[in-house]
Amino acid sequence: MNTNTNSAAILANVDTIDTLAAPASVAIQANKIRECMILVDPELGTPLYWIDHKVRSTTGSGNAEFLAHNLENGHFETVRIFGTTAVKVMAV
């Protein structure tokens, strides 16, 4: 088992993710988020969004925009975060 928690996890599926558990996480800038990463709720520390793909944001807005699978309700949502904002993602 890999216990290194310095890098973001990239998961091919989320079928076995426990949405009530608080997994290890690492902070990265929003513009560094990639497909298949899991965003962690900043207050609870639980898995919140599984990133499907990056969406083109408005030019000059500074936003990072993604289509993401909401792990709480199962719906797809657009997630917009200012690009330099530090966000927590699930770590390996």
Per-residue confidence (pLDDT) for residue 58, from 0 to 100: 82
Please name the residues in contact with 85: beta carbons below 8 A apart, sequence gap of 6 or more.
29, 30
Note the pLDDT tens digit of each residue in 33-69.
999 999 999 999 999 999 999 999 888 889 999 999 9
Rounded to whole angstroms, the Cα distance separating 59 from 18 reads 37
- The pTM for the full model equals 0.85
- Kindly indicate the confidence band of residue 5, based on its pLDDT and cuts at 50, 70 and 90: low
Q: What is the pLDDT of residue 64?
A: 93
